[in-house]
Amino acid sequence: MKVAVLFILSCLVWVGMVKPSFPEQEKNPAFWYELAQRSIKNALNYQDLNKNIAKNLILFLGDGMGVPTVTAARILKGQLNGQSGEEAQLEMDKFPYVALSKTYNTNAQVPDSAGTATAFLCGVKANEGTVGVSAASVRSQCNTTQGNEVTSILRWAKEAGKSVGIVTTTRVNHATPSAAYAHSVDRDWYSDGDMPSEALQGGCKDIARQLFENIPDIDVIMGGGRRNMYPKNISDVEYPTENKHNGTRKDGRNLLAEWIDGVKDKRGMYVWNKKDLLSLNPNNVDYLLGLFEPADLAYELERNKDMDPSLTEMVDVAIKILRKNERGFYLLVEGGRIDHGHHEGKAKQALHEAVEMDRAITRAGLLTSDYDTLTVVTADHSHVFSFGGYTPRGNSIFGW
């Protein structure tokens, strides 16, 4: 009884404290009429279709970035800029076209990032937990791999003479990026140390190995995942005393050393920290591998800003390297930790990740032109995330 009374009283106090907060100009109907007219004029301008052939394609993938996440991120962006938030615009809000996508795996009503990545990168819906293979492949069954491989747009772009790149806030061999280059019946086979002996004996390759072997000369690769490139128990360059970050490979191969050796005469560079990345002259680099953490990159709110680059900073460097190709480029950019924030029930982390991806989209727009570059922003699936209630205008998106 005491709890109920206290709750009711607290609600009454909260309601009493609510004060409408919105710009004075919004009280005038003319404000809304003029806004509507501008919106109509902008829409009519898009009737003159851009019939140019896109030389470049940038695909931004917000992992787990469903519609409620987009709405909440928009409000957060506005509030971070001192606004009440609801009237703010994400960069994608300014795009001329919008659509909804149907998300499911061939064997799952609620999809995962592996099967969906196969769908949007390879054009083929697939089973949950598998990357770069058709639905004829069965998760974790190595002998269902051969003959069921499907190719990705990254490979198609490379074969067309374009430069190609992958930038992610997860590890570079995580589900979403791996569908661009790998064929694996298990998304969790990050290195051979994660694979069962029967899979290795069956001839299946781990995803880290496929990153360097399946599509030679991916021009730009940035994200996390260092530990899957080193032999087992080799210490990490950044965390030499933390055993959990040691190498995981059982085959004794050092994929980083092999990559560095392979590009030594092709203006290739490997970097593992922000300082080295931002000190590069993109005009002098044709191949770039940047691995900034042993596994996934830190959340944007927890990022060591002296050591680790932001998604925006990685995208900036990637585009400056890739755009040198006269035939154009293809770039996959994943805001992968939006998904992780939601998985952990951390709305603040997830939404700040989404706002950072918005900054990266903005930066990409400044470095490219609509006349020759097609930019697509999408998500692979949504999450059990929503917000509601009768909250006042300007209420903190993280508040009651």
- Catalytic residue IDs: 113
> Quick check: 31 and 81 in contact, CB under 8 A?
no
- Determine the Cα–Cα distance for residues 111 and 337; give it in Å rounded to an integer: 17
> Quick check: 350 and 397 in contact, CB under 8 A?
no
What is each CA distance from 75 to 78, 80, 228, 363, in whole angstroms? Answer: 5, 9, 38, 20
Closest CA to 174 of 306, 312, 338: 338
3-state SS of 176-190 is: HHHCCCCCECCCCCC
Alpha carbon 147 to chain centroid distance?
29
Residue appearing with tokens 């004996």: 201
The two tokens of residue 289 are: 């591998």
Residue appearing with tokens 């697509």: 376
What percentage of the chain's residues is helix, strand, coil (to nearest 5)? 40, 15, 45
Rg of the chain (C-alpha set): 23
The upper half-sphere exposure of residue 8, i.e. CA atoms within 13 Å in the direction of its Cβ, equals 5
Alpha carbon 353 to chain centroid distance?
9
The upper half-sphere exposure of residue 244, i.e. CA atoms within 13 Å in the direction of its Cβ, equals 2
- Determine the Cα–Cα distance for residues 43 and 17; give it in Å rounded to an integer: 40
